[in-house]
Copies of this chain bind each other. A is one copy, B any other.
Amino acid sequence: MAKNLTPRATDYSKWYNELVIQADLAENSGVRGCMVIKPHGYAIWEGMQAELDRRFKETGHVNAYFPLFIPKSYFSKEAAHVDGFAKECAVVTHYRLKTAPDGKGVVVDEDAKLEEELIVRPTSETIIWDTYRGWVQSYRDLPILVNQWANVVRWEMRTRLFLRTAEFLWQEGHTAHATREEAIAEAEQMLEVYAEFAENVLAIPVVRGVKTANERFAGALETYCIEALMQDGKALQAGTSHFLGQNFAKAFDVKFQDRDGEVKHVWATSWGVSTRLMGALVMTHSDDNGLVLPPKLAPIQVVIVPIYRGEEELDAVSVVAKQLVADLRAQGVRVKYDDRDTYKPGWKFNEYELKGVPLRVAIGPRDLANGVVELARRDTLTKETVPVEGLAASVPSRLAEIQQALYDRALAHREANMHSVNSWAEFESALDAGGFVSAHWDGTPETEERIKELTKATIRCIPLNNVLEDGVCVLTGAPSKQRVLFARAY
């Protein structure tokens, strides 16, 4: 286990905070609540972006960019949005600094006060729907299938790297449709895009579901979500897709002339995932030795470390190592040969273990003589001696095997922590054990709220394709037609 890393069993939260910093993923900045995403963390995020962006484009979407600032008055236009949305926002009030009277430093120029304050976007529905008004006249202008990669700001009081930061990076899709059915199909399609991405790229199994009315996005008629289970038994919402009905179209007066000649309001969706997924990734796969990365997202998939004394040995090892690098690159494997002489092999082993490189190859002079190398696998921490001959050719399938093993392990963990309960006593003890709790609920916001007060558990979702069954609410005993998933959550 890593020397300075608190074990998960001792303090899971501390382990997470330390790991994010020690693995060089991110760190706190001099600005309260805003993080610096370090190169290793950003490279993983770039991997996520590339995989998502490809999926968005394959489903017909295009990217665009909308302003960072939103006039304050825009927020008041959609009633549910302004009521429901957190008002913790960064507010721009002035547009100029000036040299301080004492000549040292700068002060805000009070003469440069904005007539209307600007809000740094916490989400972009309002500015985007204000824009769409000009883009839509006819059914021929629909659908609009637009996504934006952007930074957003929500002034959180208690922040944690990746999980909850004042500024974070995300993508937000905003689509406009001629019919209700088409908009719902879009929201559902994008949920499935997220779910497939989470399972096949992040190697995180997710439950697909819809939120209760209480937990819906402010302004949405339906919020679809994917929910994942972390190692400590807490749930994490990994992505949401909203069917917005005609709420924003009405608030921003976005209408079109349909094929039948009638003028109608447009139907909308929005959907997003964020750098929060970095937190989900860490808390699904990593261990007491550091980060464990699914090969599809690992910036370095294979690292080669030479073991040598003196330049002559290094030269001999390098011949083999460089050939291996070339063979791996030819197969599209991301490989690094770390022949720095400023660090010892033991330091390097530790470093790449901490940073989650899936496969490590060590080559020493004795290995050379035997035509073998030492191959270490990060997820299982196992080592084997393998012939150099044929190694490169075997790497893609080894990486695929690791990818699958991570998913299987996470799925087994989730299944072991999926509790189906029928009484309040069972409900409480299952929650304390950790994991998802599948229980009957009477369908009222009051009961949902009361359960949250009593246990800190929320309804994570009503699973899609839920099997209907008669039962009684675990709290009130009132009749219920289906189970919903409760959990304590990030």
Confirm or deny: A62 has a beta carbon within 8 angstroms of a beta carbon on chain B.
Answer: yes
| A89–B131 CA distance with the chains assembled, in angstroms | 25
**A119 — which chain B residues lie within 8 A by C-beta?**
97
Task: Report the separation of the CA atoms of residues A1 and B165 in the bound assembly, to the nearest whole angstrom.
Answer: 52
Are the C-beta atoms of B31 and A71 separated by less than 8 Å? yes
**Residues on B with beta carbons closer than 8 Å to the beta carbon of A104:** 76
Which chain B residue has the least Cβ–Cβ distance from A100? B76
CB contact between A127 and one of B31, B43, B90, B150 (< 8 Å): that residue: B31
B residues near A89, Cβ cutoff 8 Å:
95-97
Contact with B along A39-62 (1 / 0, CB 8 A): 100110110000000000000001
Check A93–B96 contact: CB distance below 8 A: no
- B36 adjacent to A63 (CB under 8 Å): no
| Bound: A167/B68 CA distance, A | 8
Q: Given the complex, which residues of B lie within 8 Å of A146, measured CB to CB? A: 39
A65-99: CB near B (< 8 Å → 1, else 0) gives: 11111111111100000100001111111111111
A86 to chain B, nearest CB (A): 9
Number of copies: 2
Instruction: State whether A91 touches B108 (Cβ < 8 A).
Output: yes
Assembly CA distance A134 to B21 (angstroms): 12
Q: Is A238 an interface residue (CB 8 A)?
A: no
Residue of B nearest to A139 (CB): B342
B88, A95: Cβ atoms under 8 Å? Answer: yes
B117 near A68 (CB under 8 angstroms)? Answer: no
A91 pairs with B90, CB closer than 8 A: no
- A69/B131 in contact, CB under 8 A: no
Instruction: Flag if A82 contacts B63 (CB, 8 Å).
Output: no
Write the nearest CB–CB distance from A130 to chain B, whole angstroms: 5
Measured CB to CB, the closest approach of chain B to A285, in angstroms, equals 22
Among B34, B87, B98, the residue within 8 A (CB) of A67 is: B34
**A118 close to B (CB within 8 Å):** yes
| Residue A153 CB within 8 A of the other chain | yes
Contact yes or no, A96 B106, CB < 8 A: no
Q: Which residues of B contact A72 (CB under 8 A)?
A: 97, 105-106, 108
A106 near B75: Cβ-Cβ < 8 Å: yes
Cβ-based interface call for A317 (8 A)? no
- Contact partner of A39 among B62, B75, B90, CB < 8 A? B62
Which residues of A from 116 to 137 have beta carbons under 8 Å from B? Answer: 117-120, 127, 130-131, 134
CA distance A479 to B66 in the complex (A): 52
In the complex, whether A263 has a CB less than 8 A from a CB of chain B is no
Tell me the A235-256 residues at the B interface (CB within 8 Å): none
